[in-house]
Amino acid sequence: MTPAELEAARGRLVPDVVADGLRVLFCGINPGLMTAATGHHFARPGNRFWPALHASGFTPRRLDPSEQSELVRYGLGITNVVARASARADELSDEEYREGGRILEEKVLRLRPRWLAVAGVTAYRVAFGDKKAKIGPQPRTIGETRIWALPNPSGLNAHWTLPAMAEEYGRLRAAAGADDQTDAGADG
């Protein structure tokens, strides 16, 4: 993909991968330019979302971003706090995060996932006005949906290694009761 093609993707929207009643709805900060250009979430090669998802046992094999629609059969989905694509998350304003949090709350109330997993604790803090949030389960709920703040899987978040990230994703997987359903999905 050329720099011009990536730049042309700035501001594009990327459709969610969702269904009603998911076990976990993963929520990125916003689409990067590679994601917007390809239409596939977490598409940049250095992004560790797909490797962490597999290493934690959420999926029976490492999925390619182009296979994102397969997540639904494992009771998983993907959305974003802010819909607008940008090269970096620091291009977003606090107002965009807060508005994104309001829209995300409406989406969660409509779709009713068991867990909302926000991949970026800083984005969670701003979007939901919780300055003290830390990685892990949050006391707040949206309707019946519990919330978990995950480390941002971007390669720029270098202080989280892939094994540490997979361990945190695994904690969420255990909390979501994913063991039985993922294993059954892998056989079906």
Considering only CA atoms, which of 99, 84, 103 is closest in space to residue 33?
Answer: 84
Cα–Cα distance between 121 and 82 in angstroms, integer?
14
Q: In sequence order, what DSSP letters do the residues of 38-75 get, joined into one string?
A: HT-TT-STT--HHHHHHHTTSSSSPPPGGGGGGGGGGT
Q: Which residues contact 94 (CB under 8 A, 6 or more apart)?
A: 126
Are the C-beta atoms of residues 43 and 65 closer than 8 Å to each other? Answer: yes
Sign, CA torsion 106/63/138/46: negative
Q: Which residues are identified as catalytic?
A: 30, 41
